[in-house]
Amino acid sequence: MAARWRDKYNLEEREFLSDATALDCSDSQDMTVQSDKDDADINVIMERFGRTGHMPPARDIPMWGDFSGLSDFQGTIEQLRAAQDAFDTLPSNIRSRFSNDPGQLLEFIHNDANYGEAVQIGLIPPKEAPPPAPPPTP
């Protein structure tokens, strides 16, 4: 058999190569979950809305709070990166103590019951004793 050039216009060869290299899934089981198909069908959703007047519940829980202390988005990202960089400079045994999570470190430091341990591992300086009172003047 003589060698033939492959080109996109030779429909017969293109179909042969497609069939020869294709993945045949005709005997496999359907792995798609069918129990949620009505919840994803816009026609069913609109029919329910017309009947009940209620939209389906949102899957994302809304979040609210006072974010007035935050600067703009770029400034907040820079603060987060600076905090992560500062955390990364700690020794590895301290980082592993907090599961490499700066949030756990902050929770630890803000808990007054952890003051002694925080001083012991060097996270915060010890509180200085108040200076002695000056002697009374005669």
- Provide the angle, in degrees to the nearest 10, between the axes of the packed helices 73-88 and 102-110: 80
pLDDT digit string (tens) for 7-57?
A: 667 777 777 777 778 887 777 777 777 888 888 889 999 999 999 988 887
Contact 106, 96 (CB under 8 A): no
Residue with more model confidence, 109 or 19: 109
| Euclidean distance between CA atoms 119 and 61, whole angstroms | 39
pLDDT digit string (tens) for 123-134?
A: 888 877 666 777
C-alpha angle 54-58-61 in degrees, rounded to nearest 5: 135
